[in-house]
Amino acid sequence: MKRGGIRRTVVPAVVTVLVGVLATGCGSRHAPADAGEHGSEPAKAFANSAELPERLAEDGTTVMVGAADADTVVHVYEDMRCPVCEDFEERGGGGALRDMTLSGEVRTEYTLASFLDDRLGGKGSRRAANALRAALEQDRFVEYHDVLFAHQPEESVDGYTDAFLLRMASKVPGLRGEEFDASVRTMRYGRFVADSERAYEADGADGTPAFAVDGKLLVEPLRSALFDESALPMVVRAVAAR
């Protein structure tokens, strides 16, 4: 049986030791973002989330955010009803991962799971994933993703209703419109939602959130270390350099 979420278990002291080992044991293959004439070309940076390129991968389920030529890819598996995903995005390493994406060092990819609906009842995870897919059509996936986590309903409450999703969409400039609203109300991207859940299961992620760096699915204690904002960049760079 799937677990609904992965709780943080690594205390700050353990994270510090872990990061120290990784930082000294593996060198980063990335040049500093402000490398001069003797370094590599600086990565393309983006001023804010609204500037980030976002697109659907050829597999039809992976949402790709950031520079297409980024050296490192961090793949995030999330269920929108999962409170631990909200913890990662709002208080954990989510901000650090976004900064790395904005700098061009990392491309972030998302797979949207929806298994919590089956476990808890309701359709909130599915409706939220469908609405995010509709937002992608308007190039507003990133901004809407952040708004939904910032206002995430309680896990046990099937709070991602059509009315709630549309109300939250009003907080994202340029998102609301006839096409988007209809997509939310009719579950236009239901097939995408189902395929995304199957992709999550096929990739072997054990609960949410789960993370892969350059195709390597992280296990403990590395996975929990990503909840530490200062540790996440070091862990991502160390794993990418292996």
Please, what sign has the CA dihedral across residues 188, 192, 198, 200? negative
Amino acid at 129: A
Gyration radius of the chain's alpha carbons:
18
What pLDDT was estimated at residue 242? 87
**Nearest residue to 112 via CA among 240, 203, 218:** 203
What pLDDT was estimated at residue 2? 41
CA-CA distance, 157 to 212, in Å (whole number)?
29
Bridge partners of 211, per DSSP, are: 76
What pLDDT was estimated at residue 14? 45
Q: Are 196 and 111 in contact (CB under 8 A)?
A: yes
| Residue 59 CB-density burial (10 A; 0-12 exposed, 13-18 middle, 19+ buried) | exposed
**Nearest residue to 83 via CA among 180, 230, 227:** 227
Could you tell me the two tokens for 96?
Answer: 């650090």
The structure's pTM equals 0.86
The SS3 of residue 132 is helix
Q: Which own/partner contact pairs does 162-170 have at CB distance under 8 Å and 24+ positions apart? A: 162/127, 165/127, 165/128, 165/131, 168/144, 169/131, 169/135, 169/144
What pLDDT was estimated at residue 16? 56
CATH 3.30.360.10, applies to 47-217: no
Given the DSSP bridges, would you call strands 72-79 and 106-113 parallel, antiparallel or unpaired?
parallel
Could you tell me the two tokens for 193?
Answer: 């939602």
Tens-digit pLDDT string for the chain (242 aa):
344 454 444 445 545 545 554 544 443 334 444 444 444 565 689 999 999 999 999 999 999 999 999 999 999 999 999 999 999 999 999 999 999 999 999 999 999 999 999 999 999 999 999 999 999 999 999 999 999 999 999 998 999 999 999 999 999 999 999 999 999 999 999 999 999 999 999 999 999 999 999 999 999 999 999 999 999 999 999 999 98
Q: Which residues contact residue 69 at a Cβ distance below 8 angstroms, ignoring those fewer than 6 apart?
A: 44
Q: Which residues contact residue 87 at a Cβ distance below 8 angstroms, ignoring those fewer than 6 apart?
A: 8, 227
CA-CA distance, 136 to 16, in Å (whole number)?
37
Query: 6's torsion region: left (phi>0), alpha (psi -120 to 50) or beta?
Result: beta
What pLDDT was estimated at residue 40? 54
Which residue in the block uniquely carries the two structure tokens 């403990």?
220
